[in-house]
Amino acid sequence: MIKEKIKEGPAPLAVGSTIDGTVVARDRSSLFVDLGAFGTGIIFGREFYEVKDVIKNLKIGDKIFAKIVELENEEGYKELSLKDATKEISWQKLKEIKEKGTILKVKITGVNKGGLLTSIDNIPAFLPVSQLSPENYPRVVDADKQKILKELQKFIGKTLEVKILDSMAQENKLILSEKAKTEERIKEILKDYKKDDIIEGEITGIADFGVFIKFPLSSDSTQDKSAKSSEAGIEGLIHISELDWQLVENPAEVVKVGEIIKAQIINIDNNQVFLSLKSLKKNPWEEIEKEYKNGDIVKGKVIKFSSFGAFVEVFPKIRGLCHISEFGSQKNMEESLEINKTYDFKVLLIEPKEHRMSLKLATK
């Protein structure tokens, strides 16, 4: 049995649905819209005045989107809201922009301690500090929040290129990323690099947790990818623990901004390059087992006190710890030892792999 195909008409309208139409007439307080098979719509009253700045730019024949707020009023018109429809369409457009990975230009209008503030299509947007490009990331040595805020304030009024990282329509908020715009490019560039490669680059920033080093883009795959100029490139991080074999408390004591150094790649993860400076230096701990053994008496200079003991330099770049328990209290320790003075210490334990040496003040 052959079923007849019934011609379907337009889907029925409902309050809250979005519809497109053509502007056909207007007066001082109303805008009339031809909705085709659905008749005529009207934007008036509060709905008119809330978007009057938009309406004043509309001309007869312009296509618009509007939201149904009343299916039929006393005069037989469908009451429409341009405001709600514009907002809904903006979110739909922004969702498409996010999915396509489109790069947008935004003007920074404000800051807070967490990042930069702006807006897209009148929707509030936030660019977190963590999503800034390496070039714009605030380099604050002690990670002081007030200093970071001061650095961020320099961006007010500037235009940045960003991608939409997350769109939260229910919260009426967008999360942006500046560094995301270069991630694919960086991913391709990093295919030319691998673990253990040696790079040469410029120290571009110092923080309390380590230093940033920029090395130039290179398409060759040689083992030693040397810097030829200060052109834009990839920025990697040398963690404070990878600066030297000895304990480093202030990275600025090891390197200076603008200094050109060589470093070794120890890991590439999620478009981030982690480097080591100490891996290119001779490991002094390798000689310790040859020089000393448990029970030996060694001369050592007291470098600093801490709540858990005294740090003692017994070999160039090698520090041992004389634990606080050897003295009974911090007061006794500071009375027994003097900073920058040399004493005889007994080696209690050497752990070269862990870079640890335990000491005890030798008794005469």
Whole-structure pTM value = 0.53
Instruction: Please tell us whether the domain made up of 18-88 is placed in CATH 3.60.10.10.
Output: no
Which of 70-74, 195-199, 274-278, 317-321 has the lowest average pLDDT?
Answer: 317-321
Q: Is the per-residue pLDDT at 132 higher than 80? A: yes
Distance CA 125, CA 118 (A): 5
The pLDDT, as a whole number, for residue 2 is 42
Distance CA 202, CA 232 (A): 11
Q: Is the per-residue pLDDT at 333 higher than 70? A: yes
Cα atoms in the 13 Å half-sphere on the side-chain side of 86: 15
Distance CA 301, CA 291 (A): 17
The sign of the dihedral angle between the CA atoms of 322, 325, 331, 336 is negative
Cα atoms in the 13 Å half-sphere on the side-chain side of 20: 6
> Across residues 11-25, what is the average pLDDT?
84
H/E segment holding residue 161: strand 159-168
Q: At which residue do the structure tokens 């870079």 appear?
A: 355
**Domain spanning 101-182, CATH class:** mainly beta
Distance CA 233, CA 227 (A): 10
> Across residues 204-216, what is the average pLDDT?
86
Distance CA 102, CA 320 (A): 55
The first and second tokens of residue 277, run together, are 């400076």
Q: Reduced to 3 states, what is the DSSP secondary structure of residue 33?
A: strand
**Domain spanning 285-361, CATH class:** mainly beta
Burial of 12 from C-beta contacts in 10 A (0-12 / 13-18 / 19+): exposed
Cα distances from 154 to residues 67, 141, 148, 177, 320, in angstroms, run 41, 18, 10, 18, 45
Domain boundaries, the chain: 18-88, 101-182, 193-280, 285-361
Q: Reduced to 3 states, what is the DSSP secondary structure of residue 182?
A: helix
| pLDDT tens column, 92-128 | 778 888 888 888 999 999 999 889 999 887 788 999 9
Q: Reduced to 3 states, what is the DSSP secondary structure of residue 181?
A: helix
Distance CA 132, CA 235 (A): 13
Q: Is the per-residue pLDDT at 188 higher than 60? A: yes
The proportion of the chain whose per-residue pLDDT surpasses 90, expressed as a percent, equals 35
Torsion angles phi and psi, residue 63, rounded to 5: -90, 135
For the chain, how big is the Rg over CA atoms in Å?
33
The first and second tokens of residue 172, run together, are 């009426």
Contact status, residue 174 vs residue 163, Cβ threshold 8 Å: no
The first and second tokens of residue 78, run together, are 């469908």
| pLDDT tens column, 289-331 | 778 888 899 999 999 898 889 999 988 778 889 999 999 898 9
The first and second tokens of residue 120, run together, are 């897209």
Distance CA 340, CA 354 (A): 25
Domains 101-182 and 285-361 share a fold: yes
Question: Cβ neighbours of residue 80 under 8 Å, at least 6 residues apart?
Answer: 19, 21, 33, 41, 42, 43, 47, 66, 67, 68, 69
Contact status, residue 16 vs residue 67, Cβ threshold 8 Å: yes
Q: Per this entry, what is the length of the chain?
A: 364
Question: Cβ neighbours of residue 363 under 8 Å, at least 6 residues apart?
Answer: none
Q: Which fold has domain 193-280?
A: OB fold (Dihydrolipoamide Acetyltransferase, E2P) (2.40.50)
